[in-house]
């Protein structure tokens, strides 16, 4: 497989368009907007549809090769609304950008929902997704209407810390560390002005406190070495610039968060352990009890004073983060886990202070303090958060491993005007600029995407393509960054650098997948919205019920522990209910499983584009396969030629090649390649000029060559062109189709002159894969534009019973909808542009990694390794991930359903068992950690055993 075939692009085609329609008649958001969006998304070639009910508008991103504005408008009107085209932007990348922002301070889904709502309220923001697990926000916005700074400001106004990661997919970003930078406005302004003067610089954001400068730029025009040079020459040489250390990004922030929670937990232990000992342990040792019970004033004892002094720093200094979090949430009309923690610990702390003060002013008051409850509660929650962030960091290890493929350094060559090497210099791999010449020594990783200028070698591309066999490289061949040069020295010219490389695009695709929410998560978001208020109500109700029961002697006094009153017993039950309920576990159930699942998929060569694809793939019970390039190798060869007229074989093939050289169809390329055997210069053949060339999609081509009319194609084309097919030709076609070969008719001056038989061998393991799918109760269907004879023969070889042949691109999409209407959940597997409408129409589209960019863009899952068995892996990964999500939900909901009644004292009347608040807090923290650990078990995923026994046979063409 060549690098050209394995190129992965996450951007839409340059021909893509964005159209905005005025939609009149919508009254409600869920029903009206949903019906319009659903109808538009069913059309072929639609990438995205967003309906704004408030402004009566619909924005549609589409590919004009498959659908136009008129069809979209008519579709909206067919739903029952009046539609008018407002604007049509021919270049999506100018009208829409994707901004990624790191958000610090989120604790549960209530926080992420609050930020999403604030962002979506900004004019110009088309879509906003905030992922709790990755602590990132991904915003699709119009740069003409809103800036990245406005987005950052909005998040910070919501009460969270925001830091820009990237500003748009079509430009590169670089982080520079600038020594000598301080918070002085004049200094930062000086550097900003110097950088803004450089052509190609798009945006500059300076973080003086971190000595960091983030620059967004166009890699075609400029590069990072220029930025370093400009910064160091600014201000009389008082600045020193370098690439920001790799640890300065997301991983550094996560490590800092882990260290922060660890420090807080250790400090809380310093104060909590003495509080625990004085209240729970030392009171039972006579010598210590005598000291602790010593009266300070009236009924106030030494033990109470000590516990008060030790618990106050824990409550207000170590636990201040919970106050900040709850304040931010309540300020914006929402409630999160911090609110529950603050209410629970404050109730215990301030009641204890009340008891302490009353004991100081009373000679007969005998009260109990709960200082150990508040301190131990905060300590256990901090321990839980520490373990949670520690575990969450492991969910994104897949991306870290992908990033490790890029070498840290590269050898930059300086060439003279004649291309001779002048000098070489070792530089940071992130400083490579477009058109640089890089030297790759044996055993080294290729530094960036490019092509070979000099040298010959073999390159191991398995980490990108999954193909274990090294690929030979010589002058002019393309190479992929991150692959390994096995032997020989290569000089390569960089063509794609930074965020434009294939590896960076794969990383970006996996990151986007981890941001996307699975549809099942909406239920958790809905529950979390009402969860905290409901818990507060339950907590107050529990306290009130037990308080009234004690007041009116509804239970015997023997139930009340000797160390507390009925009020204090009721208070403990109420606090326990408040702190045991945890919305975090619900919020983490889906995103952590999706993160690990997509990471596992990426390591297996299966790129899954988010939770929606995962959820759809696990339900699939019908898979439609394209034939050429999917079930077959996709590299057809001419295996037989039958002439029906007296003419030289060389003349025959020169005429055909001159016609077919203008076509991009795989069969046309096979014919041209075979025709090279009949000319002297096989490397650079010269074909006669073709005039009046016409390509008839799905049928063939025609042209005028040397004043002779040449028609090459199938029977349908000959029929449409009124060319009579002789019986001999029909017999040859039938024989070829019976042998799973494609028969091509050649007409010269409207008379059939010959028949070509082209064979496209089956992919290794195709028959076995179809057999395994049958055992998984998944129906397999083949849909192809090839003729019925060849289609039936290929289907027979692989064991597919249902065949759809001679299908145009729009027919494929229509067949997908027909099966969906019959109740099937359809997955479509294809590789070409003609498959993209069907890929988009299917419930889940799977693109073979060696396919076209448009097919990869239209698909939900990309099979990087070009192996059919990865179809089974993709479905199996989605099933395992989805079952893990369900298990997480069962655990999270079950924990709360069982834990809340126990904390409320339901078992107390029968067993005497009650759950102290600090144990309830520990249980709450454990629920979040257990959900994350449950998701992490997906890292040990192993493919279906059936694939282990799969015997892959080689391909032989006689």
**Per-residue H/E/C for 342-406:** HHHHHHHHHHHHHHHHHHHHCCCCCCCCCHHHHHHHHHHHHHHHHHHHHHHHHCCHHHHHHHCCC
Distances in Å between the Cα of 534 and the Cα atoms of 531, 582, 673, 680, 717 are 5, 12, 71, 83, 69
Q: How far apart are CA 715 and CA 918, in angstroms?
A: 80
User: Which pTM value belongs to this model?
Assistant: 0.65
Question: pLDDT value at position 542?
Answer: 92
Other C-beta atoms closer than 10 Å to the C-beta of 882 total 23
Closest CA to 466 of 630, 605, 599: 605
Q: How far apart are CA 908 and CA 915, in angstroms?
A: 9
- Token readout for 277 is 């000992």
Question: pLDDT value at position 780?
Answer: 93
| Measured torsion, CA atoms of residues 926, 928, 934, 939, in degrees rounded to the nearest 10 | -120
Q: Which residues pair with 21 in a beta bridge?
A: 58, 85
Q: Which residues pair with 161 in a beta bridge?
A: 104
Mean pLDDT of the chain: 81
Distances in Å between the Cα of 180 and the Cα atoms of 207, 209, 213, 224, 242 are 13, 11, 12, 19, 12
Q: How far apart are CA 217 and CA 433, in angstroms?
A: 12
Question: pLDDT value at position 168?
Answer: 59
Q: How far apart are CA 654 and CA 113, in angstroms?
A: 65
What would you report as the CA-atom Rg of the chain, rounded to the nearest whole angstrom?
A: 34
CB of 236 within 8 A of CB of 190? no
Question: pLDDT value at position 52?
Answer: 63
- Among positive and negative, which fits the CA dihedral 381, 382, 383, 384? positive
CB of 850 within 8 A of CB of 629? yes
- Token readout for 607 is 């790129």
Q: Quickly tell me which residue has 């084309």 as its tokens.
A: 717
Q: Give the residues of the chain that fall short of pLDDT 70.
A: 1-16, 25-35, 52-56, 80, 87-95, 133, 167-171, 183-184, 245-253, 332, 366-367, 392-403, 462-469, 499, 508-518, 528, 563, 582, 832-834, 849-858, 946-958
Q: How far apart are CA 890 and CA 930, in angstroms?
A: 12
Q: How far apart are CA 177 and CA 227, in angstroms?
A: 11
Q: Quickly tell me which residue has 């509660």 as its tokens.
A: 377
Residue 179 is among the residues annotated as catalytic for this protein: no
In SS3 terms, 235-284 reads as HHHCCEEEECCHHHCHHHHHHHHHHHHHHHHHHHHHHHHHHHHHHHHHHH
Helix (H) or strand (E) holding 881: helix 869-903
Distances in Å between the Cα of 740 and the Cα atoms of 285, 718, 794, 795, 822 are 91, 21, 5, 9, 30
Distances in Å between the Cα of 539 and the Cα atoms of 325, 533, 830, 905 are 20, 10, 55, 11
Other C-beta atoms closer than 10 Å to the C-beta of 458 total 16
CB of 261 within 8 A of CB of 389? yes
- Token readout for 26 is 């919508």
Question: pLDDT value at position 338?
Answer: 81
Q: How far apart are CA 792 and CA 755, in angstroms?
A: 20
Which of the following is catalytic: 626, 853, 870, 876? 626
Give the burial class of 640: count Cβ atoms within 10 A of its Cβ; 0-12 exposed, 13-18 middle, 19 or more buried. middle
DSSP code at position 315: I
Give the burial class of 143: count Cβ atoms within 10 A of its Cβ; 0-12 exposed, 13-18 middle, 19 or more buried. middle
């Amino acid at each position: 497989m060549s690098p050209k075939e394995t190129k992965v692009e996450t951007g839409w085609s340059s021909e893509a368009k964005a159209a905005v329609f005025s939609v009149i008649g919508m009254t409600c958001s869920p029903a009206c907007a949903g019906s319009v969006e659903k109808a538009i998304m069913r059309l072929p070639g639609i990438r995205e549809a967003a309906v704004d009910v408030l402004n009566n508008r619909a924005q549609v991103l589409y590919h004009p090769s498959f659908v136009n504005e008129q069809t979209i408008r008519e579709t909206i009107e067919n739903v029952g609304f009046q539609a008018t085209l407002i604007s049509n932007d021919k270049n999506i990348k100018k009208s829409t950008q994707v901004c990624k922002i790191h958000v610090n301070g989120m604790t549960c889904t209530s926080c992420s929902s609050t930020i999403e709502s604030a962002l979506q309220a900004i004019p110009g923001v088309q879509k906003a997704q905030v992922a709790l697990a990755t602590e990132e926000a991904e915003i699709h916005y119009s740069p003409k209407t809103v800036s990245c700074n406005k987005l950052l400001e909005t998040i910070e106004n919501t009460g969270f810390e925001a830091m820009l990661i990237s500003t748009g997919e079509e430009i590169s970003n670089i982080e520079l560390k600038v020594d000598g930078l301080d918070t002085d406005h004049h200094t930062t302004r000086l550097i900003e002005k110097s950088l803004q003067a450089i052509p190609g610089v798009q945006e500059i954001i300076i973080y003086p406190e971190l000595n960091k400068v983030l620059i967004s730029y166009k890699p075609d025009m400029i590069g990072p070495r220029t930025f370093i040079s400009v910064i160091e020459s600014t201000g009389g040489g008082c600045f020193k610039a370098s690439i920001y250390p790799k640890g300065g990004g997301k991983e550094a922030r996560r490590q800092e968060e882990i260290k922060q929670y660890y420090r807080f937990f250790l400090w809380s232990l310093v104060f909590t352990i003495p509080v625990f000992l004085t209240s729970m342990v030392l009171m039972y040792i006579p010598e210590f009890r005598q000291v602790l019970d010593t009266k300070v004033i009236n009924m106030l004892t030494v033990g109470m004073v000590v516990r008060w002094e030790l618990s106050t720093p824990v409550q207000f200094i170590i636990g201040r983060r919970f106050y900040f979090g709850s304040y931010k949430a309540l300020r914006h009309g929402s409630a999160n886990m911090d609110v529950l923690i603050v209410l629970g610990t404050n109730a215990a702390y301030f009641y204890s202070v009340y008891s302490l003060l009353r004991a100081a002013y009373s000679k007969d008051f005998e009260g109990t303090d709960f200082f150990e409850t508040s301190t131990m509660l905060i300590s256990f929650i901090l321990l839980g958060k520490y373990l949670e962030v520690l575990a969450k960091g492991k969910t994104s290890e897949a991306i870290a491993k992908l990033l490790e493929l890029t070498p840290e350094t590269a050898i930059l060559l300086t060439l003279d005007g004649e291309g001779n090497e002048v000098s070489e210099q070792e530089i940071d791999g992130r400083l490579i600029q477009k058109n640089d010449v890089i030297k790759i020594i044996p055993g080294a990783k290729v530094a960036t995407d490019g092509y070979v200028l000099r040298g010959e070698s073999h390159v191991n591309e398995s980490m990108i393509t999954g193909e274990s066999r090294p690929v030979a490289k010589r002058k002019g061949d393309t190479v992929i960054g991150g692959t390994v040069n096995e032997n020989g020295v290569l000089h390569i010219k960089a063509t794609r650098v930074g965020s434009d490389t294939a590896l960076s695009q794969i990383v970006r695709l996996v990151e986007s997948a981890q941001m996307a929410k699975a549809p099942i998560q909406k239920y958790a978001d809905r529950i979390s919205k009402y969860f905290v208020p409901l818990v507060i109500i339950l907590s107050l109700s529990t306290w009130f019920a037990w308080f009234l029961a004690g007041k009116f002697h509804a239970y015997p006094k023997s139930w009340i522990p000797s160390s507390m009153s009925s009020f204090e017993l009721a208070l403990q039950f109420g606090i326990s209910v408040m702190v045991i309920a945890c919305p975090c576990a619900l919020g983490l159930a889906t995103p952590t499983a999706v993160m690990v699942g997509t990471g596992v998929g990426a390591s297996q060569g299966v790129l899954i584009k988010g939770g929606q694809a995962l959820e759809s793939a696990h339900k699939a019970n019908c898979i439609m396969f394209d034939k050429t390039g999917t079930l077959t190798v996709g590299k057809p060869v001419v295996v037989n030629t039958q002439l029906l007229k007296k003419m030289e074989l060389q003349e025959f093939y020169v005429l055909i090649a001159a016609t077919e050289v203008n076509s991009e169809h795989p069969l046309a390329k096979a014919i041209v390649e075979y025709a090279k055997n009949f000319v002297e210069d096989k490397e650079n053949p010269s074909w006669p000029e073709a005039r009046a060339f016409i390509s008839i999609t799905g049928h063939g081509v025609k042209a005028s060559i040397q004043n002779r009319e040449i028609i090459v194609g199938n029977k349908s084309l000959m029929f449409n062109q009124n060319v009579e097919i002789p019986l001999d030709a029909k017999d040859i076609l039938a024989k070829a189709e019976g042998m799973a070969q494609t028969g091509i008719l050649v007409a010269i001056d409207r008379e059939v002159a010959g028949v070509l038989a082209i064979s496209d061998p089956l992919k290794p393991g195709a028959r076995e894969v179809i057999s395994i799918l049958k055992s998984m109760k998944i129906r397999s269907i083949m849909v192809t534009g090839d003729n019925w004879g060849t289609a039936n023969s290929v289907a027979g070889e692989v064991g597919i019973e249902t065949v759809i042949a001679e299908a145009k691109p729009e027919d494929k999409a229509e067949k997908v909808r027909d099966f969906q209407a019959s109740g099937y959940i359809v997955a479509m597997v294809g590789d070409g542009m003609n498959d993209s409408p069907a890929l988009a129409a299917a419930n889940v589209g799977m693109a073979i990694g060696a396919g076209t960019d448009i097919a990869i863009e239209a698909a939900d899952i990309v099979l990087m390794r070009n192996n059919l068995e990865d179809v089974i892996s993709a479905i199996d990964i989605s099933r395992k991930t989805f079952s893990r999500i369900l298990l997480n939900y069962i655990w999270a909901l079950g924990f709360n359903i069982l834990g809340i009644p126990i904390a409320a004292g339901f078992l107390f009347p029968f067993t005497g068992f009650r759950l102290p608040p600090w144990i309830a807090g520990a249980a709450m923290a454990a629920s979040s950690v257990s959900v994350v650990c449950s998701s992490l078990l997906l890292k040990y995923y192993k493919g279906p055993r059936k694939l282990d026994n799969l015997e892959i046979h080689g391909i032989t063409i006689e």
